[in-house]
């Protein structure tokens, strides 16, 4: 069975925490589609194209991993790709409420699609795209938090480094 899963997110930009989830999901499932979604509520730092490009760079050489983007309902996108599950990451209790709500809603919209959670590696428990942007804009050291290409892209955006 070729088990396809979708890992949706803003990825603004992709961090080492996201990458860890992608690699671990790829060990469990045959195909992992990392899908950047357009969230009209959020004003991203990186355009959709830039976020997709950075994800492609950091996942280069990972077997079974592909990058895509979508607009609209996650569940519709997941069905269109014939995926069996949505992958999400959990860092802290604070993630739980929103994720529980979203997983329950998606289950209500389509009972066949599961949401599967991967616990963060404790070394990335504090890591988010927002934290990375905060540190990067003041020229702080983000070496351990993101890949080199993401670091370079952030430095360019903020005109630092």
CB of 39 to ligand ADP, least distance (A): 6
Among 6, 113, 127, 142, binds ligand ADP (CB under 6 A): 127
Tell me the window of 24-32, 62-70, 89-97, 146-154 that interacts with ligand ADP (CB under 6 A): 89-97
Region 3-62 residues binding ligand ADP, contact defined as CB under 6 A: 9-11, 15, 17-18, 21
Distances (CA, A) of 112 to 29, 72, 84, 106, 115: 17, 19, 7, 10, 10
Among 50, 53, 68, 95, binds ligand ADP (CB under 6 A): 95
- The 10 Å CB-count burial string (b at 16+, else e) for 71-94 is eeebbebbeebebbbbbbbbbeee
- How many residues of this chain interact with ligand ADP, rule: CB under 6 A? 16
The residue among 125, 160, 124 whose CA lies nearest residue 140 is 160
Among 91, 136, 151, 154, binds ligand ADP (CB under 6 A): 91
């Amino acid at each position: 069975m070729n088990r396809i899963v979708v890992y949706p997110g803003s990825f603004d930009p992709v961090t080492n925490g996201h990458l860890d989830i992608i690699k671990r999901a790829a060990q469990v499932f045959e195909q992992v589609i990392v899908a950047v979604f357009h969230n009209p509520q959020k004003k991203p730092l990186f355009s959709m194209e830039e976020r997709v490009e950075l994800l492609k760079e950091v996942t280069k050489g990972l077997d079974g991993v592909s990058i895509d983007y979508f607009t609209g309902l996650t569940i519709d996108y997941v069905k269109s790709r014939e995926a069996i599950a949505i992958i999400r990451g959990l860092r802290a209790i604070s993630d739980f409420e929103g994720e529980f709500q979203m997983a329950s809603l998606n289950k209500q919209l389509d009972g066949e699609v599961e949401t599967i959670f991967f616990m963060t590696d404790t070394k990335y428990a504090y890591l988010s795209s927002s934290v990375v942007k905060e540190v990067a804009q003041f020229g702080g050291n983000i070496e351990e938090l993101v890949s080199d290409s993401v670091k370079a892209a952030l430095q360019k955006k903020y005109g630092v480094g």
